[in-house]
Amino acid sequence: MRELLRRKYLVSFFYLIVCIVGLFTWVNIPVENAPELNLPRITVFYSWGNTAPEIVEQEITRKVESAANNLRDVQEVRSITQSGRSRVTITFNKNAPVEFRSLELREQLFSVEQSLPQNVSPVQISRSVPEELEDQQTFIVYTLSGDLPGKALLEYARQSIKVRLLGLEGISSVDLEGVDDPALTIEFDRLAVEKYNLSATEITAEIRDKLSWRTSGFIDSGSSRISMILPPDFENTTDVSNLKISIPGTIRQIRLSDIATVTVSDYPSKSIRRVNGSTALTIRLNKEPGADAMSLAERTLAEMEQIKSILPKGMTLRLQVDSTEKLRAQFNELGNQAIFSGLLVFFVVLLFIRKVRAPIVIVGSILFSVLLSITTLFMVNYTLNVITLAGLTIALGMLIDNAVVVFEQINPRLPKERSERVEHIRKELPKSFVPVLGSTFTTVGIFVPLLFALEELRLFLLPLAVALTITLLSSVIVAFTWIPYALIWLTPASKAKQKVRAKKPLSNFLKRFILRSIVFRNKLRWVLVIALIGVIGLPLFVIETPDDWENTHWPQFTQAYFDNRDNIDPLIGGLTYKFTKETYFGSPWRRDTEEKISVYIRSPQGTPLSEIDKIVSNYEEIAEPYTDAFSYYEAQLSEDFGAYITFSVKNEYLSEVAPYYFLFEAIYLASQTGNFAVSVSGLNQNHSTGFGGGSSSQRITLTGYAYNELYDLAREIQRRLEKNRRVREVDINNSSYFSRDDFYQFNLELNDKKMLASGLNRREVLNALSMDINPENSFGKVEFEGQEMYLIGRTESKRLYEEDLMERMRRGGSSSFDLETYGSIKKEKALTEIRRVDQSYERVVTFNFLGNYRMAQDFTEAMLEEVPVPVGAKIKYGYSGFSFDDDAQTKNLWLIALLSILSVWMIVSALLESWTGPLFVILAIPFSAIGIMLGTLTNDLSFDRGAIAGALLCVGVVVNNAILLIHQRKLERSKGIGGLRAWYYVFRQKMRPILITTTTTVVGLLPMVIFGTDEFWQNLAIVVIWGLLFSTALLFIFSGLWDRKLIHSH
């Protein structure tokens, strides 16, 4: 150590390198909103028009699941099948090469897609991210709107916007949403097609083939071979209309225009999006992993401003989402606050130590630690984001703590000569090893149990642990090298004068007064302990009240408590009861800065989009006189749910009457709208009509591998339930996953015997129906007129009623038929979505029971025992659909907490060579909890991520202070000083370092409370300030409380 302390040039160049490299890293380290965290899970998504869930499950979902099960390292396969949508989620083992498995899956799906229906959309494969970061994955979103057809907006965005944006380095992709590709529509005259005995499906398929590039062989030319490719046969709609079609059984030919009309029109979309009443197109920009979000956003916004300046008349480009805007504001705000906090910390340290070198050395130590940690993060390919910044912030208090502890250990009695300083520091510096290393290792040890956390939790918290660990280790290196270096070589010799002070009567009086105060405090030990327990409280309120006292394990005398717990719990629960009951845990919904008026319109199933559009247009029409009061208004229409309309009110109009007039006009319009459920909310008002209410009180979950057997089992349970007069509203198609409950489908049942007698078969009948019943009868995408578009073949029928379907004559093969003769159709309620886990179906039966819960449970359990269950099927009673996952996560969190405490215990025991020392350290944690709970309640905070990060910082600092006290207590005991007199010397030696650490941390965070605008940092600062003040005061009050003798002799 002596050699290291003497090598001033080595240390000087080391910190010069730290400064240069650190500043370079600070400028170049990527900054983003959230880290690139991907779970070992991929999702496969297909869409298929309005096809019923059962058909989608049979034709798509099962095939995708089969392909997924052929992959290696698969842990679980889950699927959700809805109307026209199939979503399959594949979870892999912990260390599986997910990207490679994704490529293997694409190869599997390529062969599967050969057997899928033609009008199924291309597959979408995506990686999963933790739920906490889903809302931060969006980079930049723009909206392009104008009084133009949707296909014109789409074509302009593709040619003039998308191409330019893809040229920016760091942009991975640009998605255009909200407007579908146009469609080449072949609208057949059904009577003419049947008159000539033609097949509309075969004609459309022929057109598709002639619109594709085809190979015609190759030509050998010397040593090379040249392939020959034929271009599409059609260049425009006239060429398609002139297609010659041979009439079966004759030599005659007709043109397509004789039996059909060919047009290019908008695709019959299921959704519409408008902004300010005009058609809108969403431009979503995605960032490459690892790219600097802030610099890329600046280049992107500048590029979009140039594009905006050359937009055609009538087009509007509006920025909708910029994920870096908040991050940029945070960095600017944190930078200003850091300067102010640094000045406050400087003066606080100067006030305590009264030497200019003290704040310079300590603040320099903090700056070097931050620069060294950022450099290390950059070297291990980490970015600055919300998680790593939280890690750096949590470590702030411990950076100050380590610097102050080392400085206070070696600065007193610093000799005048540099050679003597080296020897002095060599002797004193090891005394700070245990508190500094103990505080660092205990904090790092808290995160070691994350290795045993659930995958999603570990993935989310690992960057936090890495950032915190790197910062703390950097602070240890800096504290043990920079501070000795600064005191030896940067402090002038003339400044290091030792002052020998004679003992004064005043100091003796203070010593006696403090000792007597400590003795008096210890006489009140039981009063203090009981008061502490009373403040914290007894958490009996977490115990659930037994439902049945006959079968409970609780003694009979406890019934008096449970019967009166509403009055008892507030009295004995203390601060903990008030905190858990009055605190909102989580982030409140405060994402929008502008006040908004929202209109939700829920349409009955099967409502055409045109009908929904009429209602939305009414709201847009009444909004026209108030357009000055809105920054914009946006409408999203869908055949699946209805419509959402959002009116964003300008802040300056909140005190005007215009938005309130519009709100009540919208409420009046909602009350006048029939057959639709409408909700209007905003400006502290809420009005809804037509939604109904109520929920099922009982739930039975069925699982099994055979869909039809599970359906029959559900029908059998329904039959048995309805025998009881107390049972009401049995539903065997309940999804209970926030889906609409009015989903119906038509079931066509054909009589095969009658069809066979008439020379018909199922395929001919269904082919004859396909053109009529599916307006989106797409044959995939083709290239036509220089752009990609859908190819649709259908009849001229815009809307089909039941009598049209059943009574109309059609031709199938060589025979004419009507459906009413050969089959029947009926409307029945169906599952909104089909869920499968590892190929096992799940079906939910719900019902209401007129009686108490115990009667319902007894009846249901007795009934289910008599139900014959097919092989492989299972029945589960009760609302426990998500309890297993939640229970597993809760147990995992408890395991992590216990392992963290055990880790702290072992680390402190190893450093102090004691069993009682770690107990003192761990018992100091509740001291900070009191301040945290009081601060949260007093300031009416939501206990979100900022508050959690602040709590961790508090715990880290109070643990460090406890280690500092208990280590000094051990040193005093080694000198032969024990009892209360030892604690007098402990307080005398360590009170100032602890007060400096606490005060500098509190004062450094004050600007975040006073000037801060971001809720995360404000909550963090408030929690830390309250927690530190209370924990520091209680730590001094309860330290040495059980020592009785004033002097302990050895």
- In tens, the pLDDT along 278-290 reads 777 888 888 876 6
- In this structure, the answer to whether residues 24 and 54 fall within a common structural domain is no
Looking at per-residue pLDDT, the higher value among 876 and 330 belongs to: 876
- In this structure, the answer to whether residues 459 and 412 fall within a common structural domain is yes
Percentage of the chain exceeding pLDDT 70: 85
Predicted pLDDT at 505: 65
* Angle formed at CA 234 by CA 232 and CA 237, multiple of 5 degrees: 150
Provide the number of structural domains found in the chain: 5
Q: Quick: pLDDT tens for 470-527.
A: 888 898 999 999 999 888 888 776 544 444 454 456 666 777 777 778 778 878 888 8
224 CB neighbour count, 10 Å cutoff: 8
For tokens 């649709």, name the residue. Answer: 792
**731 located within any domain:** yes
Of 108-122, 127-141, 253-267, where does mean pLDDT reach its minimum? 127-141
Predicted pLDDT at 774: 64
| Boundary (domain end) residue, out of 465, 498, 531 | 498
- Give the confidence band of 137 by pLDDT, cuts at 50, 70, 90: low
Of 265-269, 390-394, 857-861, 949-953, where does mean pLDDT reach its minimum? 390-394
Of 68-72, 386-390, 491-495, 818-822, where does mean pLDDT reach its minimum? 491-495
- Give the confidence band of 692 by pLDDT, cuts at 50, 70, 90: low
φ, ψ of residue 647 to 5 degrees: the values are -115, 115
**601 located within any domain:** yes
Predicted pLDDT at 616: 92
- Give the confidence band of 1048 by pLDDT, cuts at 50, 70, 90: very low
Mean pLDDT of the region 648-665? 89
For tokens 């080449």, name the residue. Answer: 184
Tell me the HSE value of 168 on the side-chain side, using a 13 A CA sphere: 26
Predicted pLDDT at 912: 74
CB of 154 within 8 A of CB of 281? yes
In the structure encoding, which two tokens stand for residue 605, read together? 């199933």
Q: Among the residues of 941-978, which ranges form H helices?
A: 945-974
For tokens 């959002």, name the residue. Answer: 646
- Give the confidence band of 386 by pLDDT, cuts at 50, 70, 90: low
Angle between helices 1015-1038 and 979-1011 (to 10 degrees): 170
Predicted pLDDT at 891: 66
Predicted pLDDT at 591: 43
Q: Which of 106-115, 130-139, 656-665 has the highest mean pLDDT?
A: 656-665
Predicted pLDDT at 593: 52
| Boundary (domain end) residue, out of 900, 923, 938 | 900
Q: Quick: pLDDT tens for 931-948.
A: 989 998 998 888 776 787
- In this structure, the answer to whether residues 882 and 1020 fall within a common structural domain is no
Q: Quick: pLDDT tens for 444-486.
A: 777 676 666 656 566 666 777 788 888 888 989 999 999 998 8
Round to whole Å and give the CA distance between 805 and 808: 6
Predicted pLDDT at 599: 93
Spell out where 110-248 has E strands.
124-127, 140-146, 171-177, 183-188, 214-221, 224-230, 244-246
Specify the pairing of strand 744-750 against strand 833-837.
unpaired
Predicted pLDDT at 619: 92
CATH assignment at residue 927: 1.20.1640.10
Predicted pLDDT at 741: 60
Round to whole Å and give the CA distance between 780 and 723: 51
Round to whole Å and give the CA distance between 615 and 609: 10
Q: Which of 323-327, 735-739, 1028-1032 has the highest mean pLDDT?
A: 1028-1032
Q: Torsion over CA of 284, 288, 290 and 296, rounded to 10 degrees?
A: -60
Predicted pLDDT at 368: 92
- In this structure, the answer to whether residues 920 and 1037 fall within a common structural domain is yes
Mean pLDDT of the region 384-406? 75
Predicted pLDDT at 176: 84
For tokens 């009955």, name the residue. Answer: 604
In the structure encoding, which two tokens stand for residue 15, read together? 């910190």
| Boundary (domain end) residue, out of 689, 704, 719 | 689
Of 268-272, 445-449, 870-874, where does mean pLDDT reach its minimum? 445-449
Mean pLDDT of the region 629-655? 87
Q: Which of 294-298, 321-325, 618-622, 916-920 has the highest mean pLDDT?
A: 618-622
- Give the confidence band of 1050 by pLDDT, cuts at 50, 70, 90: very low
- Give the confidence band of 372 by pLDDT, cuts at 50, 70, 90: very high
Mean pLDDT of the region 714-721? 90
**918 located within any domain:** yes
**562 located within any domain:** no
Looking at per-residue pLDDT, the higher value among 635 and 292 belongs to: 635
**750 located within any domain:** no
Round to whole Å and give the CA distance between 792 and 204: 8
Percentage of the chain exceeding pLDDT 90: 8
DSSP tally for the chain: helices H, then strands E:
37, 33
Tell me the HSE value of 505 on the side-chain side, using a 13 A CA sphere: 0
- Give the confidence band of 354 by pLDDT, cuts at 50, 70, 90: confident
Looking at per-residue pLDDT, the higher value among 207 and 889 belongs to: 207
For residue 220, the SS3 value is strand
1031: closest CA among 969, 961, 942, 979? 961
**345 located within any domain:** no
φ, ψ of residue 148 to 5 degrees: the values are -135, 160
Mean pLDDT of the region 803-824? 76
Q: Residue 694 pLDDT > 60, yes or no?
A: no
CB of 942 within 8 A of CB of 997? no
Round to whole Å and give the CA distance between 652 and 629: 8
Of 494-503, 533-542, 649-658, 667-676, where does mean pLDDT reach its minimum? 494-503
Paired with 674 in beta bridges are none
Q: Among the residues of 486-590, which ranges form H helices?
A: 505-523, 525-536, 559-563, 565-572, 574-582
* Angle formed at CA 671 by CA 666 and CA 672, multiple of 5 degrees: 95
**178 located within any domain:** no
- In this structure, the answer to whether residues 414 and 448 fall within a common structural domain is yes
- In this structure, the answer to whether residues 953 and 973 fall within a common structural domain is yes
- In this structure, the answer to whether residues 889 and 842 fall within a common structural domain is yes
49: closest CA among 265, 199, 267? 267
Q: Residue 650 pLDDT > 60, yes or no?
A: yes
Predicted pLDDT at 923: 78
Q: Torsion over CA of 33, 38, 42 and 43, rounded to 10 degrees?
A: -20
- Give the confidence band of 394 by pLDDT, cuts at 50, 70, 90: low
φ, ψ of residue 813 to 5 degrees: the values are 65, -120
- In this structure, the answer to whether residues 891 and 838 fall within a common structural domain is yes
**211 located within any domain:** no
Cβ-count burial of 729 within 10 angstroms (0-12 exposed, 13-18 middle, 19+ buried)? exposed
Q: Residue 342 pLDDT > 80, yes or no?
A: no
CATH assignment at residue 857: 3.30.70.600
Owning domain of residue 108:
38-128
Q: Quick: pLDDT tens for 1017-1040.
A: 788 888 888 988 888 888 888 888
Predicted pLDDT at 988: 84
- In this structure, the answer to whether residues 401 and 462 fall within a common structural domain is yes
Query: The whole model's pTM is what?
Result: 0.64
CATH assignment at residue 634: 3.30.70.260
- In this structure, the answer to whether residues 921 and 855 fall within a common structural domain is no
Of 115-124, 581-590, 652-661, 1002-1011, where does mean pLDDT reach its minimum? 581-590
Our measurement of the distance from residue 392's CA atom to the centroid of its chain's CA atoms, rounded to an integer in Å, reads 22
Mean pLDDT of the region 166-185? 82
- In this structure, the answer to whether residues 938 and 881 fall within a common structural domain is no
- Give the confidence band of 793 by pLDDT, cuts at 50, 70, 90: confident
- In this structure, the answer to whether residues 874 and 970 fall within a common structural domain is no
Mean pLDDT of the region 962-969? 84
- Give the confidence band of 883 by pLDDT, cuts at 50, 70, 90: very low
**Average pLDDT, rounded, for the chain:** 80
